[in-house]
Amino acid sequence: MTQDELKRLVGQAAADYVNEHVPEGAVIGVGTGSTANCFIDALAGSRERYRGAVSSSVATTNRLLSHGFRVFELGEVESLPVYVDGADEIDPHGAMIKGGGGALTREKIVASVADVFVCIADGSKLVPTLGAFPLPIEVVPMARVAIGRRIAQATGGVPVLRVKQDGTPYITDNGNEIIDVKGLAIDGPVALERDVNQWPGVVTVGLFAARGADLCLIGTERGVQRIDYARR
Ligand code: 5RP
């Protein structure tokens, strides 16, 4: 199977999970990226079952609207029974690197409100140790150089400003820049997330470790592998 076929497989598995476990009339949290898009497409057939969705990015909002979902602001809803999103890397404890698509801040906010985080990914995203995928950090632009120096000093990683194809800085939905930190092997993701979050100018670090996934649905050649981290 191609990587796209595996993404569609887990997108459908997540839609089946949500249809089975989430009560009718609920609002669901929806992540960003190509795997999250597969989930949105797979859920579209049962959108009447839900009051709507809270989105983690402008791109996801547009996709949800194109399928006829109602999109709510986070402040308009009282609860989110589930948040479904992809990941760039997932370690054996369900800690993740996210933000390859640049939506890490809104993803972390929406995920923090949800009762259950369902991560969907193809099998290539499972790793023993996080860090081969560059760690995104969303930063207030004036702090970018200072934070780059500090992360290099603290971890030995190499900070690289994310740029668009035309060479200008990539700007997030929140108007900030992203540093991608290369060459890491993150032994203590919870501690690194906590530390980096304290640095002035850091908006969000793309480590989802203190609040990792509750359930992963992994696309493999043999079908969907379910990993339950039993946090609840
Ligand atoms: C976006 C993300 C995505 O979930 C992550 O980059 C995975 O993307 P894809 O499903 O396209 O592989 O964190 O900010």
Q: Is 31 in the pocket of ligand 1 (CB under 6 A)?
A: yes
Nearest-CA residue for atom 10 of ligand 1? 35
Ordered DSSP codes for 19-46? HHHSPTT-EEEE--SHHHHHHHHHHGGG
| Candidate from 3, 30, 34, 217 with most ligand 1 atoms within 8 A of CB, to mutate | 34
Nearest residue to 186 (alpha-carbon basis) of 137, 127, 229: 127
- The H or E element that residue 63 is part of is helix 58-66
For 135-204, the fitting CATH number among 3.40.50.970, 3.40.50.1000, 3.30.70.20, 3.30.70.260 is 3.30.70.260
What pLDDT digit, counting tens, does each position of 99-158 carry? Answer: 999 999 999 999 999 999 999 999 999 999 999 999 999 999 999 999 999 999 999 999
Return the pLDDT at 160. 98
Ligand 1 mean position to 32 CA, how many Å? Answer: 6
Which CATH class name applies to 3-127+210-228?
Answer: alpha beta
Q: Is 104 in the pocket of ligand 1 (CB under 6 A)?
A: yes
Q: Is 142 helix (H, G, I), strand (E, B) or coil?
A: helix
Rounded Cα distance, 112 and 84, in Å? 12
- Residue 21 corresponds to which tokens in the numbers above? 């476990």
pLDDT higher than threshold 50 for residue 77: yes
Nearest residue to 27 (alpha-carbon basis) of 58, 66, 72, 67: 72
Nearest-CA residue for atom 7 of ligand 1? 87
Q: How large is the angle between the packed helices 189-197 and 144-155, nearest 10 degrees? A: 150
Range list for CATH 3.30.70.260 in the chain = 135-204
Q: Is the dihedral of CA 1, 18, 173, 192 positive or negative?
A: negative
Residues annotated as binding site? 32-35, 85-88, 98-101, 125
Q: How many beta carbons lie within 10 A of that of residue 93, not counting itself?
A: 14
Known catalytic residues are: 107
Nearest residue to 205 (alpha-carbon basis) of 215, 218, 191, 187: 191
Return the pLDDT at 230. 74
pLDDT higher than threshold 90 for residue 76: yes
Return the pLDDT at 232. 46
Rounded Cα distance, 186 and 135, in Å? 10
| Candidate from 34, 63, 88, 172 with most ligand 1 atoms within 8 A of CB, to mutate | 88
Range list for CATH 3.40.50.1360 in the chain = 3-127+210-228
Mean pLDDT of the chain: 97
Residue type, 55: S
Q: Is 225 in the pocket of ligand 1 (CB under 6 A)?
A: no
Rounded Cα distance, 132 and 158, in Å? 12
